[in-house]
Amino acid sequence: MSATVRVSTPLMVAVLLCACLSAQADPKVWAGTCFPARVWEYQGGTTWQAISPDFVGAVLCLEEYEGDLYAGTISCTADWFEGRVYRHDGEGQWTLVGAGLDEMVCDLAVYHGQLYAGTVAQGFRLYRYEGGASWTRVVDYQSWTGVRALWVGTDDYLYLGDILEDNIARFDGANLCDPAWLAGSCIWDFSEYGQGIYAAAWLGRLHRTTDGRNWGLVLDYREWDLWELEQFQGYLHLGYDDGQLWRMDGTESVAPLWSAPNSIIAMLADGRDRLYMGTGFEATWGGYGDLSGIIYAYDGTGNPEAISGVLGGGVQCLHHPHTFPDIRCEHWAYTEVEECCAAEIVGGYPDGHYQPRYPVSRDQMAVFIARALAGGESNVPPAPDDATFPDVPSTHWAHRHIEYACAEGVVQGYGDGNYHPEIDLTRDQMAVFIARAMCGGEDNVPDPPCDSPPFPDVDCEFWARRHVQYLREEGITGGYPDGRYHPEYVCTRDQMAVFISRAFVDTM
């Protein structure tokens, strides 16, 4: 797959902004297994290649950090078990960068540009990687047992789930926040879906929060553990230790889809058209599933198909590259953000995050539009010597982009002659900018008869009606689930990427 922009200028793909990954024809998928404790790389078809030695025990988690792949393990020693972290240095070479991290490293996550490890058996502990082989313990909550699951939420918190009870807390980079005891035993996984964050738990319980503090029960006890959650094709998919694959829709109605011959202990959506499932023996609780780890792929139709032979005793984790730690493949705007990144239209913040819920200001939107029109950052032309707007001098970081967008008839100033780059953009203003950019200026935006309003809250007399109507007719926007457009809402960075991608980027 490649990304091309609808302009005559040739596109220079992702050389300045980021190493965007969704444009790869065959994105990598990695798997971690137990017995042997190895990392495998998908080669296509039903072929997987071992890229690590046997770490003796189980590879429980995989994460990328600063361009390298890291593996968290439970490794068998002469005395007992030890939590370790290894770094892949290429060509089958791995370096031990974390030893003695309690008894097992159950999960790894990149949060605020730093790598964290959640561990088990010496208390509820979280470690931060300092480089080399150095780790700093940043959470040590002895009232709980150990960190089984980590999740970077779009609310800018790191979520932690306990291995022994339904305990959940958040970490803000300095402190453990909002500890919640929900009864039951073990939080296995987290995922975001719709407006909530969901937590999978022991014996099939499913919890949900919309504010990160107060959790409600969505599904109560059933016979089997709910081990995995993954958003795929507009549904939240649930993997159980009896091999059942269920899916849940936006009304939180659930239905069974398929039954694997073994426990589903890992799931991964690739952000496109495949949901991967790892099956077999679950290593952290030591007793569920048969010792036959196989990986299946599901395209949303029919039954999943096996895409591997037996890869050890159980497939504990699956991972594939993603550009931003807060835009994983289950995020609703994942594909569009990755496409815009590949097209040199968007980039991340200095901490490596995309910050999808941040508002888009007028200077930022001009930058995105200018890059889309020019065919990437490197093709935005130099600005003229004289500034058009007094509040956007040549020293302003977005001066070149605002001048170009103005010259193309996309942006205008306010009545006072200023551009006001700092003002957050609302959804009606966003529609105006994008419609002008698509049509080549304000005068070229169609103004057909308004037989019926495009949305109930965008009537025929609304100031941006024809721009919103044009975007709807072009398939750029469909509005909110309530049928309204909500022009007054501030545009967020994930919404912006979706609009820009639909308007300017073709996925081939």
Which residues lie closer than 8 Å to 424 by C-beta, 6 or more apart?
A: 359, 360, 361, 362, 490, 491
Write down the pLDDT at residue 24: 41
Which residues lie closer than 8 Å to 494 by C-beta, 6 or more apart?
A: 327, 331, 332, 333, 336, 337, 354, 356, 357
Q: Cα(first)–Cα(last) distance of the chain, in Å?
A: 6
**Cβ-contact 187, 208 below 8 angstroms:** no
pTM for this prediction: 0.77
For residues 367 and 224, give the distance between their C-alpha atoms in angstroms, rounded to a whole number.
Answer: 50
Pick from 317, 294, 267, 327: nearest CA to 62: 317
Tokens 């025929």 belong to residue: 460
Residues of the chain with pLDDT under 50: 1-19, 21-25, 507-508
Which residues lie closer than 8 Å to 143 by C-beta, 6 or more apart?
A: 124
For residues 262 and 230, give the distance between their C-alpha atoms in angstroms, rounded to a whole number.
Answer: 18
Write down the pLDDT at residue 10: 26
The domains found in the chain, sorted by start residue, are: 29-319 (2.130.10.10), 334-507 (no CATH)
Report angle CA 341, 420, 403 to the nearest 5 degrees.
Answer: 60
Write down the pLDDT at residue 334: 83
For residues 234 and 478, give the distance between their C-alpha atoms in angstroms, rounded to a whole number.
Answer: 15
For residues 346 and 331, give the distance between their C-alpha atoms in angstroms, rounded to a whole number.
Answer: 16
Write down the pLDDT at residue 2: 35
